[in-house]
Amino acid sequence: MKTKTTGRVALPAKASAALHCARTAGFTLLELIITMSIAAILLTIAVPSFRYVTNANRIAGEVNGLLGDLQFARAEAIKEGRNVTVCISTDGQNCVANANTWQSGWIVFSDPTDTGVVDPGETVLRWQKTFSSTDTFVDPNNNLPAITFNREGYAVGIVAGTLLELHDVTGTTAWTRCLSVNFSGQMKTELYGVIDADNAGATCL
């Protein structure tokens, strides 16, 4: 009697199980499509939120930078009993005359001669370099190249309703911030649309 040979070799049980796992490992097309869809949804939600946080943090840093230097200048004026000025400066050494672009940078300096410019022998106390962003920081109603504080802490010659407006290049109101300064030397930041009752009713726009 002849025996028919099939050419197949029986595998041990463990080897068979391992081969089965190897064949079934990985993702199916449906699973891959579902995973990619979920990733796309998460990116759609996350990217705008990340952009908002990034812009909001940058704007806050810029407006608080000038606020902090103005507060420092006022404190120095009271402590030293002499005028201290904060002016727009692009080089960290000289004031820019008739400028209104605070995004260009500024300096804080001792100004005993009360000229609003850095005279020989006067000390520059702080320097803020030009913004790396395209944001604008201006007083839309007045030409304000400098703010000087006297030994009593008053902002000398400041116009009522002085408000420096900080905007991003898109003009998005959610990121708009304003810096209010009044004659008494009071300073604070405002959100878009806020009316400052302590500064002649100036509105942050």
Provide the pLDDT for residue 19.
44
Classify 113 as helix, strand or coil.
coil
Provide the pLDDT for residue 142.
87
State the CATH class of domain 26-203. Answer: alpha beta
Please state, in angstroms and as integers, the Cα–Cα distance from residue 74 to each residue in 27, 88, 159, following that order: 66, 16, 17
Q: List the structure tokens of 145.
A: 């190249």
d(CA 16, CA 58): 61
Across-strand partners of 85? 109, 148
Segment 122-161, tens digit of pLDDT: 999 999 999 999 999 999 988 899 999 999 999 998 999 9
Segment 163-195, tens digit of pLDDT: 999 999 999 999 999 999 999 999 999 999 999
- pLDDT over 70 at 21, yes or no: no
pLDDT: which is higher, 50 or 1: 50
Q: List the structure tokens of 62.
A: 């810029």
Question: pTM to 2 decimals?
Answer: 0.77
- pLDDT over 80 at 12, yes or no: no
- pLDDT over 60 at 162, yes or no: yes
- pLDDT over 90 at 86, yes or no: yes
Contact 166, 158 (CB under 8 A): no
